[in-house]
Amino acid sequence: MLAKIKEKIRDIPDFPKAGIIFKDITPLLADAEGFAQAVNAMAEHFQGLGITKVVCVEARGFIIGAPLAARLGAGIVPVRKPGKLPYQTIQQTYALEYGTDTLEMHVDAIAPGDRVLIADDLLATGGTVAAVVELVKKLKGEILGLAFLIELDFLHGRNKLKGQDIFTLIHY
């Protein structure tokens, strides 16, 4: 099954800039059976944990997190760039290779004690997800795991996420 899912992910050289090989998941998303298999495999790892919220990072994280939340019987919490959410937010700023970026979540998105799964399409350097972990902690959610469709092992993103249950379907 994993081989069939992996073959639906194509490499796009030099995107978004020279030297990067972008992992394009759109062929997998277009394949109903393959996408369902991927989501089901990710959900199985966290089944039975009583997850109440799946926190998803814009934009491809929404695509992975929404069906995962539905499969787990949980609500979905969007994490977005500043100014994109309509209600009061909390923020977390994090370091990029050159500069910083900021993510936001609604102040009431997670209640203390909510059992949280953080989902995204890709784990690369880990900076974005580490910022999301901090947002969830600010709202006193209990993080039960991190779910990724793809992980770029050579970037060692796990090193920024010590102590977390990390499940990745496909490794490169």
Out of 60, 71, 80, 158, the active site residue is 60
Structural domains for the chain: 48-171 (3.40.50.2020)
Alpha-carbon separation of residue 141 from 2, 22, 62, 88, 163 (angstroms): 32, 32, 19, 18, 15
Q: Is 44 a catalytic residue?
A: no
Per-residue pLDDT tens over the stretch 3-13: 999 999 999 99
Q: Is 60 a catalytic residue?
A: yes
Q: Is the pTM of this model over 0.75?
A: yes
> How confident is the model at residue 102, as a pLDDT?
97
Out of 44, 80, 97, 115, the active site residue is 97
Average pLDDT over the chain, rounded to an integer: 96
Per-residue pLDDT tens over the stretch 120-172: 999 999 999 999 999 999 999 999 999 999 999 999 999 999 999 999 999 99
